[in-house]
Structure 1
Amino acid sequence: MAVEQSGRRLAILTEGHTEPVTGKTASSVLRYRPEEVVALIDGTQAGRTAHELLGVGGETPIVATLAECKGANALMIGIAPSGGRIPPAWKAIILDALNQGMDVVSGLHEFISNDPAFVAAAAKSGATITDVRKNNENEVAHRLNIREECLRIHTVGQDCCVGKMLAAIELTNAMKARGHDAKFVASGQTGIMIEGDGVPIDCVVADFVNGAIEKQILAHQHHEMLFIEGQGSLAHPKYSAVTLGLLHGCAPHGMIMCYEAARPATHGMEYVPLTSLAKLVEVYEVMANLMGPSKVIGVAMNSRRLDDDQAEVEREKVRAELGLPVCDVIRHGSDELVEAVLAMRPQLVAR
């Protein structure tokens, strides 16, 4: 899946959901492509700024209507809700954008391009509809012609929505800043919207999940290192299948464990307790090693619920418990994890 990014000026629709979890698509695009965003549309928060509600995006305004997004040439659906349905009240806004000739970009499971009214409006105005999750992946994995000299690092999680994409992007950018040839491999709709390519792994037919991410590895293994975005968690009752297929398809040399400090229970299933990090490190390593030598080499802590002092206490606790480098890549920077990745290079060459 490729997403055209040249010259786009985005109005991002987050109506009623301008917060970091459900609104993570908007938040992430604002973090990594702020120059493309004209405004967020949320009538419940009009007059405020993106930074006030999302902690990113600076003074990007939040407005009540599409008409206030002057200069925008595309409407992006800025939420990633469980189930991925289009909120019914949003359909009129989407239709208005298409009637005006604005492109529409959506990462929802419910495809804009499956609605005859939307398709007719786009055809009449010349607008383009991009359903990021729509795909025709139909290849199984083969485990052939994989260049082992390309270091593969995979972000895995204690739960969903803990920052696996963010950690992978931050590590990619940090490696590039140090002069390394690194590539972020997106496996979800938001990552694809940011990177411009990737595969929407949670919308691939089950038999082809492993093959779809393997195809991404083969396409990008001319780089020195790949940072593959994780999805879900092996311990999440809803999403463990896609997590395992992704893990086996990318066959990582190393993994970064991602979690959110002070999260009380499994996301979206508050009656399910979280599995401990120590247990998950063990489980991820066992499952990954079915495909080849692999280990967890560091921990990316999402400490948004903690203040600075609490974050340091948590960081030292997890370091002591797991014997691994731990950092919040936003609060602390990613240097500890960068060094852990670079330490794998001699081991890889020696294999």
Structure 2
Amino acid sequence: MKYEPSALSNYRRIVLLTDGYSTPFLAKTAINLLRYRCDDIAAVIDREFSGQDAFDVFGTGAGVPVLDGVPDDADSVFIGIAPPGGKLPESWRDVICDALRRGIDVVSGLHDFLSDNPEFVSLSEAHGGKLIDVRRNVEKQTATAAAFRDGCLRIHTVGHDCSVGKMVATFEVERELKRRGLDAVFLATGQTGIMISGEGVPIDCVVADFVNGAAESLVRRNEQHDFVLVEGQGCISHPSFSAVTLGLLHGCAPHGLIYCYEVGREQVKGLDGVPLLPMRRLIQAYEMAASLRHPCSVIGIAMNSRQLNESEAQSERERVSQEFGLPVCDVYRDGAGVLADAVVQLRQEVIG
């Protein structure tokens, strides 16, 4: 079944299932739910770490217990991993069946849909627990290129690879704009962002002809806001995922881009031996591709410096800012202030 808009935000006793996959690379969905919806998280399931605190396992989510099964007061089980290929681990079948037998909803953002599993469907129908596949969608609208509302400033995050922090940068800029009392909205385009915000479009699971239209429609539904911040996906040069990246660029027609990169990463994620392109070349490619649809430029750079110490991060930030003449920050270390400043300045330049 397809999730209903805002329905995912109604859960208040979420259990995150990461059993056997509790690593930063695989459990990024759980990690970000712990970071951005921690008040709604009742527990994490991982039998290896049962009895510990989520913070000890993931570095976030202090006070959330790690258990070996679904607690009685849970209202939902969220699949907390995003593995390559999006397959559901076979070893999780018993946990999911146990939840469904107790009428507990199960939410998944994997490509391997729960609602295609006859056993899960039978248990859901018998006991009332819902099967919610976040990636299942009915997007069948091509883009129209009709103008958006004049007062709607559109900002889009792009990156030099997958999993470099585009969603996090988008969230943090939205938070900073809201902190200043401005009318901003985060628009999710991936499973984790949708699970956090409760709404969005799973852009990597939309039929190719309708990717641009799905992104356009998502913005259209939210163009009443002054600042629309669209989460990025993939990378325009990634041999596997460039299609969704270009579709988002043309569908949301951004005024400005925030470029995201991870310091020290040299190879394309998931493709050993394929080097990443130089940052300047990628920035130029993004600006050219986006401007085919709407005038656009990169206005700031979000740096993922998780592999650096504080001194190294400061040197990297200063070097990149000087090289490109743009504000640069790590939104975790530095906050998103300079990026929010750039967004506000762009609005004054293009909208007034």
For residues 239 and 268 of structure 1, the distance between their equivalents in structure 2, rounded to whole angstroms, comes to 11
What residue is the counterpart of 1:65 in the other structure? 69
Matches within 5 A, 1:169-248: 169-248=171-250
Q: Contact (CA 8 Å) 2:11, 2:76: kept in 1 or not?
A: no
Letter in 1 for 2:288: V
**Alignment match of 2:164 (pick from 157, 162, 165):** 162
> How many pairs does the alignment contain?
348
Q: Contact (CA 8 Å) 1:107, 1:132: kept in 2 or not?
A: yes
**Alignment match of 1:348 (pick from 335, 347, 350):** 350
Give secondary structure in 1 for the equivalent of 2:221: helix
Q: Does 1:96 align with 2:98?
A: yes
Matches within 5 A, 1:302-313: 302-313=304-315
For residues 337 and 312 of structure 1, the distance between their equivalents in structure 2, rounded to whole angstroms, comes to 16
For residues 172 and 280 of structure 1, the distance between their equivalents in structure 2, rounded to whole angstroms, comes to 24
TM superposition shift of 1:8 = 2.9
Cα shift readout 1:126-146 (whole Å, capped 9, x = no counterpart): 111110000010000001141
Q: Contact (CA 8 Å) 2:8, 2:199: kept in 1 or not?
A: no
Q: Does 1:38 align with 2:42?
A: yes
Q: Does 1:317 align with 2:319?
A: yes
Tell me whether 40-49 or 340-349 shows the greater mean CA deviation: 40-49
Give secondary structure in 1 for the equivalent of 2:185: strand
TM superposition shift of 1:269 = 1.4
Question: Could you list the runs of 5+ residues in structure 1 that have no partner in the other structure?
Answer: none
Letter in 2 for 1:183: V
What residue is the counterpart of 2:113 in the other structure? 111
TM superposition shift of 1:14 = 0.5
Letter in 1 for 2:171: I
Letter in 2 for 1:6: N
For residues 21 and 319 of structure 1, the distance between their equivalents in structure 2, rounded to whole angstroms, comes to 28
After superposition, the CA RMSD in angstroms is: 1.2
**Alignment match of 1:5 (pick from 5, 9, 20):** 9
**Alignment match of 1:280 (pick from 273, 279, 282):** 282
Give secondary structure in 1 for the equivalent of 2:246: helix
Cα shift readout 1:168-210 (whole Å, capped 9, x = no counterpart): 1111111011010000010001101111111000000000000
TM superposition shift of 1:87 = 0.7
TM superposition shift of 1:319 = 1.1
Cα shift readout 1:99-144 (whole Å, capped 9, x = no counterpart): 1111000000010011111011011111111100000100000011
**Alignment match of 1:55 (pick from 59, 84, 92):** 59
For residues 147 and 328 of structure 2, the distance between their equivalents in structure 1, rounded to whole angstroms, comes to 34
For residues 159 and 15 of structure 1, the distance between their equivalents in structure 2, rounded to whole angstroms, comes to 27
For residues 57 and 70 of structure 1, the distance between their equivalents in structure 2, rounded to whole angstroms, comes to 20
Question: Percent identity between the aligned chains?
Answer: 48
TM superposition shift of 1:45 = 2.2
For residues 47 and 9 of structure 1, the distance between their equivalents in structure 2, rounded to whole angstroms, comes to 18
Letter in 2 for 1:24: K
What residue is the counterpart of 1:266 in the other structure? 268
Q: What TM-score comes out, normalization by structure 1 length?
A: 0.96
TM superposition shift of 1:70 = 4.3
What residue is the counterpart of 2:334 in the other structure? 332
Tell me whether 279-288 or 15-24 shows the greater mean CA deviation: 15-24
What residue is the counterpart of 1:83 in the other structure? 85
Letter in 2 for 1:56: T
Tell me whether 318-327 or 40-49 shows the greater mean CA deviation: 40-49
Q: Contact (CA 8 Å) 1:38, 1:70: kept in 2 or not?
A: no
For residues 297 and 57 of structure 2, the distance between their equivalents in structure 1, rounded to whole angstroms, comes to 37
Q: Contact (CA 8 Å) 1:278, 1:321: kept in 2 or not?
A: no
Question: Could you list the runs of 5+ residues in structure 2 that have no partner in the other structure?
Answer: none
Letter in 2 for 1:113: S
Moved >4 Å (runs of 4+)? none
**Alignment match of 1:255 (pick from 251, 254, 257):** 257
Give secondary structure in 1 for the equivalent of 2:215: helix
What residue is the counterpart of 2:130 in the other structure? 128
